[in-house]
Structure 1
Amino acid sequence: MKTKLFVHGHVQGVGFRYYAQTMAIQHNIKGWAKNMDNGSVEIVADGEGKQVASFIEKMKTGSPLAQVENIEQMDYESDEALSAFDIRY
């Protein structure tokens, strides 16, 4: 299951992408996280359905200093080969 998330709130400058990477590794998720110009974080997550669902639940809480207000979720179709969970700049 591949999905794309846009996480809104106070999610930049608070270790959110590193938190997402840690949670992705724990949930066997491949993909990436990237800060967006509008202050949100874009995440692509690829994994088994239950693992992706659990990962998304962790994203709703966020890192200790984050304040997640909203998460937009959409299906993501891409031929991009994902071998790990990366932080993109």
Structure 2
Amino acid sequence: MVVKRVYFLAHGGMVQGVGFRYFTQKRAVEYKLSGWVRNTDDNKVEGEAQGEETGIKDFLKDVDKGPRGAHVVRLDKEDRDVVEGENGFHVRRGGP
């Protein structure tokens, strides 16, 4: 089992106000991932997800599509260091 962590940033015409963070959290739980997601101040959605490589891959495909009503123009991804002992996938409020 290869554990991986990835940072993601969804750019789009419509990624806020459409339930994107909760959609992302639901998908992360389905794929047994940990991490977080939040809206940015510049109308994007960012987060980090950690788990098995296959789960991460499927999760990112879902995030790239987004929930119904969303329009993701681009999804940036960047590998990050694994965080030991992280539990759950959380929706955070606001920017950094």
- State the alpha-carbon separation in 1 of the partners of residues 33 and 82 from structure 2: 16
Identity of aligned residues (%): 33
Partner of 1:48: 52
Counterpart among 30, 33, 37 of residue 34 in structure 2: 30
Aligned length in residues? 89
Which 5+ residue runs of structure 1 have no aligned equivalent? none
Partner of 1:4: 7
User: Which amino acid in the other structure matches residue 34 of structure 1?
Assistant: R
Scaled by the length of structure 1, what TM-score is found? 0.94
> Is residue 50–residue 82 contact of structure 2 (8 Å, CA) maintained in 1?
no
TM-aligned CA deviation for residue 79 of structure 1: 4.2
TM-aligned CA deviation for residue 78 of structure 1: 6.0
**Is 2:63 the counterpart of 1:59?**
yes
Aligned pair in 2 of structure 1 residues 52, 17: CA closer, same or farther (>3 Å)?
same
Scaled by the length of structure 2, what TM-score is found? 0.87
Greater Rg over alpha carbons, structure = 2
Aligned pair in 2 of structure 1 residues 38, 30: CA closer, same or farther (>3 Å)?
same
**Structure 1 stretches of at least 4 aligned residues deviating more than 6 Å after TM superposition:** none
What are the Cα deviations for residues 31-82 of structure 1, in whole angstroms up to 9, with x where unaligned? 0001001111011000000000000000111010110110000011264742
The alignment partner of 1:22 has SS state of helix
The alignment partner of 1:47 has SS state of strand
The alignment partner of 1:2 has SS state of strand
- State the alpha-carbon separation in 2 of the partners of residues 33 and 80 from structure 1: 18
